[in-house]
Amino acid sequence: MIRPILKYGAAGLHHPARDVEAITPEILALIDDMVATMYAAPGIGLAAPQVGVPLRVFVVDLSVGKDPAAQITMINPVFLDREGMQLEEEGCLSVPGFNATVSRPQRAVVRGLDREGCERQREGTGLLARAFQHEMDHLDGRLFVDRIRGIKRDLIVRKIRKLAKSGQW
């Protein structure tokens, strides 16, 4: 099932998510829905808070569904290591129509559970490291807009407020 994606300003996006206590049929259904929603958007990553579920779950697939082996599911993820820096433009399914250059690690190592409950460790560089940090930010109640400063951030937030007032957000 494709779920609605919350947009910037929705309360659920701005609070840290809780750990998943057990991998239940409901959690597996959530993961399946998140994957379907991510592909339909289309996007390369999605965190549970973006679909209104305050749990520490994210999915990433840089192939956007073209390679089943590229799909990554992380439950209760934690960073083991982050290093380097990359500055690239990124967007977000919860901030549609807006992009900004954001500083992210060049390399990131994440450990969490897969959908079967097995502990997995994944290392990513470049875009995958960026995706890991982006989705982990969602689990911590942050969006890419929160990582930018100055005029660019002010312009994005003002435009979103204006869209929200006119009912277009």
Contacts of 47 (CB under 8 A, 6+ apart): 17, 57, 58, 135, 138, 139
Q: Cα(first)–Cα(last) distance of the chain, in Å?
A: 23
**Of the residues 83, 116, 119, 135, which is catalytic?**
135
The total number of residues written for the chain in this structure: 169
Nearest alpha-carbon partner for 44 in 25, 5, 75, 70:
70
d(Cα 125, Cα 21) in Å, to the nearest integer?
29
135 is catalytic: yes
Please give the Cα distance from 125 to 12 (Å, whole number): 29
Q: What residues are labeled active site?
A: 135
